[in-house]
Amino acid sequence: MTHSTRKKQLGTIPLSILDLAPVVEGATPREALQNSLDLAQHAEKWGYNRYWVAEHHNMPGIASSATSVVIGHIAGGTSTIRVGSGGIMLPNHSSLVIAEQFGTLESLYPGRIDLGLGRAPGSDRLTAMALRRDLNHGEDFPAQVQELFAYFGEPSAGMPVTAVPGQGLDVPVWLLGSSDFSAKMAGELGLPFAFASHFSPDYTLPALHAYHSHFRPSKYLDRPYTMVGINGIAADTDEKAEFLFSTMLQQFVNLIRGGTPKKIQPPADMNSIWNEYEKAAVMKQLKSAITGSPETFRDKLNKFIDETQADEVIINTSVFDHQDRLRSYELIAQLGLNPSV
């Protein structure tokens, strides 16, 4: 990986937010989406760079399935923060539809919209079938991306179908990944790359290396640009942050057990929930998570930034109580964005 000569740490790189619009036990998707807008409005005030929402389907605890609609909801209630997808699972859609949707968003909120693209279904096999009808469609991802660029490009006499709105608009496109496939592709296309270290920590450094190794300057970027995703929870004490983290731990235990997806659960004593095998498996998958008091969080995040040489960090905070989520992002903002918060 090519390392910058500038020391990268909190305060020198942008921080952003990844939101899955969590639906907690006892609440509704409406309340989750209201909370997302509230968080985005606070994030804008606190100085966060972007606010991205992610496409997932058939999950009772996630309300961001209609991702383009949620982006419009967030962008319409804010004024300066960049808003985008982290990401749109392109094989679930036609490239024309995504070009039209994001062309519309860019027309409504010019200069503020990001289009992050992934190739996974964002759900289970049966849901993927309901979305795609053809599970081999993901193999066409590179061709779909090129088709999307054509719809965003300048009008051409050879194009019988155009995206309106969309044609000729400058919508920044990112590739997202949890392995080196999209890393290499992003590098070859000269696109910014976002890596999902929050659920694929073992592949973080190899994927970032692959991106830098394959990068070719383009009309989009003259140098590589990486954003790395983490799970992060800051609280007033280490102990409280660890307790709040148990909500996410329960989600991953349920995933390992092959259980039916649930709404977001309240924090609990994990010793009464998992066995030693489950604990080891979950902690391995979440080993890049950063939790703690402001001082602990700062030290851990600076170490992570130094190891990855990320140009930007995007933080997912999955906790049960909305006020705890706000407090976590506020504390992080005080560390690295806006000391006056």
pLDDT tens-place string over residues 217-251: 999 999 999 999 999 999 999 999 999 999 999 99
- 334 near 294, Cβ under 8 Å? yes
In this structure, what CATH number is given to the domain that contains residue 323? 3.20.20.30
**Residue 165 is assigned to a structural domain of this protein:** yes
**Residue 8 is assigned to a structural domain of this protein:** no
Q: How far is CA 333 from the centre of its chain?
A: 18
Q: Which residue has the higher pLDDT, 116 or 140?
A: 116
pLDDT over 70 at 53, yes or no: yes
**Residue 7 is assigned to a structural domain of this protein:** no
Q: Which of 30-34, 78-82, 156-160, 221-225 has the lowest mean pLDDT?
A: 156-160
pLDDT in the model for residue 149 = 96
pLDDT over 70 at 203, yes or no: yes
The mean predicted confidence, pLDDT, of the chain is 93
**Residue 205 is assigned to a structural domain of this protein:** yes
Tell me which residue has tokens 């999902």. Answer: 196
pLDDT in the model for residue 1 = 46
pLDDT over 70 at 276, yes or no: yes
Contacts with 134 (C-beta within 8 Å, 6 or more apart), sequence order: none
Domain residues for the domain of 125 are 15-336
Mean pLDDT of 249-259: 94
**Residue 235 is assigned to a structural domain of this protein:** yes
Phi, psi of 233, rounded to the nearest 5 degrees? -135, 120
**Residue 90 is assigned to a structural domain of this protein:** yes
pLDDT in the model for residue 156 = 77
**Residue 9 is assigned to a structural domain of this protein:** no
**Residue 6 is assigned to a structural domain of this protein:** no
Mean pLDDT of 272-278: 96
- The total domain count for the chain is 1
In tens, the pLDDT along 120-163 reads 765 677 777 777 656 665 578 999 999 999 999 987 777 889 99
| Buried residues in 297-309 as b, exposed as e (16+ CB within 10 A) | bbebbbebbeebb
